[in-house]
Structure 1
C-alpha cells in the first residue's frame, strides 16, 4: 500500500503542475501551457480546480511519508 500512496503523491504533483501551467499560460500569456490543454479545452477556473486536486493528492501522498518517519523516530515499541 505504501508504494501506491507514493505513486499518488507523485501523480498529484504532476497534476498540480499541469493546473498551474494551464492557468498561468492562459491568464497571462494568452494560451495554456502543459500537456492538459492538448486533451481538453478548459476555462481558467477549471485549471485552478485541477491545481487544487493535484495539491490534495500530493499532500495526501506526502502525509503518509511524514507519518511513517514520525513513527520510526518516535521509537515505537519502547513500552515499560
Structure 2
C-alpha cells in the first residue's frame, strides 16, 4: 500500500513542479487544494519516492521471510 501511495505522491509532485516551472500553470491535483511553491513539489516527489522504496523493500523482505540471509 505504501508503494502505491508513494507512486501517486511522486506523480503529483512531478506534475506540480513541471507545471509551475515550465508552463506557469498548475498540473495535478495538489494545486486545487494547496498553494505550494515549486520546491515544495520537489519535496512531495522526494517523500513519495521514499514511500515507494520503503514499500518495495518491505514487500521484498516479507517475500524472503524472517531470518533469511540476503
TM over 0.5: yes
Pick the aligned partner of 1:20 from 14, 38, 60. 14
Tell me the distance in 1 between the aligned counterparts of 2:19 and 2:42: 12
Relative contact order higher in (CA < 8 Å, ≥ 6 apart): 2
The two structures have a TM-score, normalised by structure 1, of 0.76
* Alignment gaps of 5+ in structure 1: 1-6
Structural RMSD (CA) = 1.3
Tell me the distance in 2 between the aligned counterparts of 1:53 and 1:36: 14
Q: How many aligned residue pairs are there?
A: 66
The two structures have a TM-score, normalised by structure 2, of 0.85
Pick the aligned partner of 2:33 from 32, 35, 39. 39
Counterpart of 2:54 in structure 1 is: 60
* Alignment gaps of 5+ in structure 2: none
